[in-house]
Structure 1
């Protein structure tokens, strides 16, 4: 099964995992890494690389990070260079809908190459503004 890693600042990754498991139940292929104020960046990156290598599967690994260009993302990309012959994707801007979609597709046996774009789309589509959405639905009923 594809391994899913969430790497983020503070306790965001654990919070997302907790919410996901509340909704979907426990998942053996969901892993977290947290970067705290007192965590050394090199130790964070090395620990993430070691864990990713330890959970390696033929199906691959997808790493979600909170911010593009921030430390968790940078460490994921830097450490990717050290991991040989592995199907590996890194996606920034993690949110709850995208990880739920990823986990659902993984459970259905969808390959990493076939799911990452769908996961991106669901993450983007999950962002809504109340009044704009309300207007869309009111206008549909009024037609």
Structure 2
């Protein structure tokens, strides 16, 4: 099974942990690492490396981080560059994190990363524009006499 590590600034990871657990239940090989103000980036990377070693059973590890270019992303990228079978998605949302639990069985690490990227893009909507489209569609569907 692909291991998942979620990391982000302050309580991003543990907040997502609570929400993901409510949606997908308790998960094995799923680690949540907060980057707290009291931590250095070296501390963060050390925790991440420990987690990779702990949850990688051979199918690989996927990092899911909050911000592109933030410290959790940058430190996960460092690990990805020197550790085989590790991938990274940055800028993730709850839909991506919860779906990682459902989608990770029976696929490769690369396939999971692609699937979650598609899910992330499809779940962001401007709801005013969505309502306009629905309203326009309902007016187009009227037969009129």
| TM-score normalised to structure 2 length | 0.90
Per-residue deviation, 1:115 = 2.0
Rg comparison, structure with higher value:
2
Alignment of structure 1 residues 17-28 onto 2, 5 Å: 17-28=17-28
2:77 corresponds to = 77
Rate the CA distance shift 1:36–1:98 in 2: closer, same or farther, 3 A: same
Per-residue deviation, 1:80 = 2.8
| TM-score normalised to structure 1 length | 0.91
Alignment partner of 2:96: what SS? Answer: helix
Alignment partner of 1:64: what SS? Answer: strand
Per-residue deviation, 1:97 = 0.9
Tell me if structure 2 keeps the 8 A contact 1:13–1:33.
yes
Q: Matched residue pairs, number? A: 140
Which segments of 5 or more consecutive residues in structure 2 lack a partner in the other structure? 141-145
Structure 1 Cα separation of the partners of residues 119 and 41 of structure 2? 30
Runs of 4+ residues over 6 Å off in structure 1? none
Per-residue deviation, 1:13 = 0.6
Alignment of structure 1 residues 41-56 onto 2, 5 Å: 41-56=41-56
1:7 corresponds to = 7
1:29 corresponds to = 29
Alignment of structure 1 residues 87-106 onto 2, 5 Å: 87-106=85-104
Tell me if structure 2 keeps the 8 A contact 1:64–1:92.
yes
Alpha-carbon RMSD:
1.3
Which segments of 5 or more consecutive residues in structure 1 lack a partner in the other structure? none
